[in-house]
Amino acid sequence: MNSKSRGTVALFGGTFDPVHNGHIQSAIELNKRLLLDELRFLPCHRPVHRAKPGCNSEQRLAMVTLAVESEFSDSASANGKDAQVTTVRVDDREMQRDGKSYSIETIEEVRKEIGDEVSLIWVMGTDSFAGFDQWYRWQDFLALAHIVVIKRPDSFLPTEGAIAELIETSSAKSCDELKQCSAGLVWFESLKPFPISATAIRHDIAAGKTVASHNRLGEHVPAVVLNYIEEHQLYR
């Protein structure tokens, strides 16, 4: 199959506690750069490498769903928010699975569903990739998917050890290579930086800040998500 007909599916996994404009803008920019056929936000049910989230899985899923509907619907595109070249949707499969949410198990499931030819991309920020060698069965990822790493401000990658070796042996030379094979490469994407983190948002809300008192919240979090947080009194 040639690269034109291969198809490209990207999985953007995260805790999304809550989803914010850093995630949304990264997805928009990534679409523009990689011309994806599909991008799926994939909220994690039981994160393995971090403290228990500030709200439950159903609430995190609800916020991601609201954000994707408002930012990526046809009407959002028609309003000029973004030229939508891809299908953006929420994949809630990890919510349906008991036990810890291991990304490799998700990738195995998706790979079975989409077949061997489709280029499958696991997306993560530099902060996540820096600790990737601690992930369950991390050595199995590249047999099934590519990894695209979004550079994040203030995040640094190890210059020696397993991650440095992985970069050395598996880096793609251009993003076009991601479409020439269905898995096996690591690609670093330098998007416009979006210095936003869910941690800072949770802290702002816990400190009693509101959109009215603190512009940053309104800039960093989609309005539908802020409304949901307010309505459910999250992160107080």
Q: Please identify, among the stretches 8-16, 104-112, 137-145, 210-218, the one whose residues bind ligand ATP according to the rule CB under 6 A.
A: 8-16
Between β-strands 87-90 and 38-43, what pairing exists: parallel, antiparallel or unpaired?
parallel
Nearest residue (CB) to ligand ATP, 23 versus 179 = 23
Distance CA 16, CA 50 (A): 12
CB of residue 200 to ligand ATP, shortest distance in Å: 7
Nearest residue (CB) to ligand ATP, 23 versus 146 = 23
CB of residue 102 to ligand ATP, shortest distance in Å: 15
- Each residue 26-65 as x (binds ligand ATP by CB under 6 A) or -, in order, gives x---------------------------------------
Between β-strands 8-14 and 119-125, what pairing exists: parallel, antiparallel or unpaired?
parallel
Whole-Å CA distances, 161 to 36, 134, 168, 193: 31, 12, 11, 26
Please pick, from the candidates 194, 221, 222, 226, the single residue that binds ligand ATP as defined by CB under 6 A.
Answer: 194
Which residue's Cβ has the minimum distance to ligand ATP? 125
Nearest residue (CB) to ligand ATP, 118 versus 196 = 196
Q: What is the DSSP letter of 234?
A: T
E strands of the chain, at which residues? Answer: 8-14, 38-43, 87-90, 119-125, 146-150, 186-189
Distance CA 223, CA 124 (A): 24
Please pick, from the candidates 9, 30, 55, 124, the single residue that binds ligand ATP as defined by CB under 6 A.
Answer: 124
CB of residue 76 to ligand ATP, shortest distance in Å: 20
CB 94 within 8 A of CB 45: yes
As given in the structure block, the two tokens for residue 24 are 């949304």
Count, residues near ligand ATP per rule CB under 6 A: 18
Please pick, from the candidates 132, 152, 183, 226, the single residue that binds ligand ATP as defined by CB under 6 A.
Answer: 152
CB 56 within 8 A of CB 180: no
By CB under 6 A, residue 222 contacts ligand ATP: no
By CB under 6 A, residue 119 contacts ligand ATP: no
Closest CA to 31 of 68, 82, 76: 82
Peptide bond into 222 cis (omega under 30): no
Nearest residue (CB) to ligand ATP, 3 versus 157 = 157
Applying CB under 6 A, the residues found at the interface with ligand ATP are 14-17, 22-23, 26, 124-125, 127-128, 150, 152, 194, 196-199
